[in-house]
Structure 1
C-alpha cells in the first residue's frame, strides 16, 4: 500500500491519516482470537491497570505470537511509513493496548517521541505510530484524541508522570494543551477522534499530541500499535527493558498482503519464554561503532 500525493499532503498538514476498515473482519478475527491467551500470561510484558487486573498494555507480542508476528511485517502497515521516510524501518516498539470495558484507564496528553527522546535517546522524530483497531471504536469506549497539526511544534515541554496510571509517561501540561487546541480550531476541530469498525488503521506522527479517556462503556477497545523507526534513527540508550524498546535494528521485510489469512513462516524468538537479557537496562548511551 502506497500513499498518494494528496495523502502525503494531508499527513504533513494534520499529522495523521485514517483508513476506516482497511483490514477485513476475517483478518481482525484472526488477531483477536489470540488476545485472551496473551493477556492471561503473568509476564513482565503485560502491564495491568493501576486498580484492576485488566491488561493496560501487552508488549512485544510479535516476538512470541504468530498472528502478531505476521502483522508486524504486513505491507499495509509498513509500506506507507517507508514512503514517508524513504528508508527501511525497524520495530522500535510493539504493543496491544487493552482499553477494557469499564476498566480501561486514561492515557494522558503526550507525544510518543517525547518518551523515545528522553528515555531511549532516539536522535530525531523519524519514527511513526501505526495503529489498527481490533474492536469497533466509538465515542464512548475511550477512542484516541488528536490535536491536528500539533506535530508541527516539534518536541514540546513535558513532565514525567509516574503516579497517574500504572505506566509512566512524559505528559504535556494543561496550559500548553489549551494553546495547541486553540491554534488547531478550538471547539471547531481543535480535537479530533477517529472512530470506526474493527480493522481500521491510523498512521500518526511521533510528535502529534494525543490522549484517550477512560472506558466506562461495556465495550472493549483493544488496539495494536506498531512504533516503527527509520533504521538510521535507531535508539542510542537501553534505559528501558528490551520488551518495551527493542534493540534489534534489522530492517523489516514485509510478508505478502494475505499473510494474516494464510500460513507463512515467521521467526518467534521468544516463543519459549522471554530471555533474561530482555529485562536488562543501562542509563549509559551506546558506544558508536565505525
Structure 2
C-alpha cells in the first residue's frame, strides 16, 4: 500500500484488507537523553511488555481533588451538552469526556507534571504533545466495556499517525478491581501490528467512541495473541496508573458491580511523529479526538 508516494509499514482496513499480524518496525523505548522518574529497569520492563504499572502515582489528596473535578464536569450542563462528552449506549450516563485538559485546569496541570510528561519524554526520546486527553467514567451496574483493540491501529487509520511513537498513561481515580471493568492487556502484543479487515465508515468516530466495531482484531488474531502472550489486568487503588504503548492490544469488560471505575487518560505523541492525512479514512477525526497541534508540552 502506498500513500503520498510513501510506503505504509502498517497497512490496515481499506478495500480487500485482510486481518494479519505485521512485525513492528519501530522501537518501543526510543534513544533518549531525557532524565525523569522512570528507572532503567522501568524502561526495560516497558520495552519488554509494552506497559508499566505505576503504583501511587498520585497522592490521596490529589485523587480527591481530581475526583471532585470529575464530579463537576459530569454535572455541568454545558459540558454534558458539548460534543466532546460521550454518553453510554442506551443511557445518558457519561462514558467519556474528551479534550478534558481544555475543560479543566487541574487536568492540564497534571498532563505537564514531570511524573507524567517526564515519563513520556523518556520513553519517546523527544519532546511530546498531547495527542488526546479524556476522562473515562465507567458507571456502576451498566458501564459498557471497550472491545479488544490497538489504539495505534485507529490513530494510524483515522488520524494519520505515521508510527507507534506514542504512549498512554491511564490514572485511576477509583479503585480498579478485576470485577469492575479493569483494563486487560496482552503482554508484548505491541511487538506486532494487528492489521484489521473492513473499511472505515464515514464519520466512524460518532459510533466508535461509544462502541467500536471497525478496527478491532478478528477472533482468530485474538486467539493467536492470547495463546502467545496471555492476559494481564491492571488493578490497583486510586492514584495508581498504567503507562502503555500505543500499539498494545487491550480492552475491558462491562461493569455490572455497584462500583464505578474512573480514570484520567492522557496520550502523549512525539513531536517528531505529527499527524498526516488518515491512512484508511476519508477525512481526519475532529481535533478534540486527535490533536493536530504538535506544539511541545511545556
Structure 2 portions without partners, runs of 5+: 1-35, 278-282
3-state DSSP of counterpart to 1:34: helix
Aligned equivalent of 1:218 = 258
Residues 132 and 224, structure 1, Cα contact 8 Å, conserved in 2? yes
The residue that corresponds to 1:198 in the other structure is: 238
2:116 to 77, 101, 104: 77
Deviations 1:115-155 (A, max 9, x none): 10000111100011111001010111100000000001134
Matched, 1:104 2:148: no
Inter-partner Cα distance in structure 2 for 1:34 and 1:165 = 22
Aligned residue pair count: 248
Cα distance in 1 between the residues matched to 2:244 and 2:209: 23
Contact 2:194 2:217 in 1 (8 A): no
Q: Where do 4+ consecutive residues of structure 1 move more than 2 Å?
A: 154-169
Alignment map for 1:9-88 (pairs within 5 Å): 9-40=44-75, 41-88=80-127
Q: How far 1:165 sits from its partner (Å)?
A: 7.4
Which secondary structure state, in structure 2, belongs to the residue aligned with residue 36 of structure 1? helix
Q: Distance in 1 between matches of 2:45 and 2:258?
A: 34
Structure 1: runs of 5 or more not aligned:
185-189, 254-290
What does 1:113-132 correspond to in 2, within 5 Å? 113-132=152-171
Q: Does the alignment pair 1:146 with 2:191? A: no
Provide the TM-score with structure 2 as the length reference. 0.79
Q: Deviations over 1:28-68 (max 9, x none)?
A: 11111011221232110110011111111110111121111
Q: Secondary structure at the match of 1:139?
A: coil
State the distance in 2 between where 1:234 and 1:127 align.
10
Contact 1:114–1:158 (CA under 8 A) maintained in structure 2: no
**TM-score computed with the length of structure 1 as normaliser:** 0.81
Write the distance in 1 (CA, Å) between the matches of 2:38 and 2:195. Answer: 28
Give the superposition deviation at 1:166. 2.3
2:53 and 2:291 map into 1 onto residues whose CA distance is: 26
CA-based RMSD of the aligned residues comes to 1.7
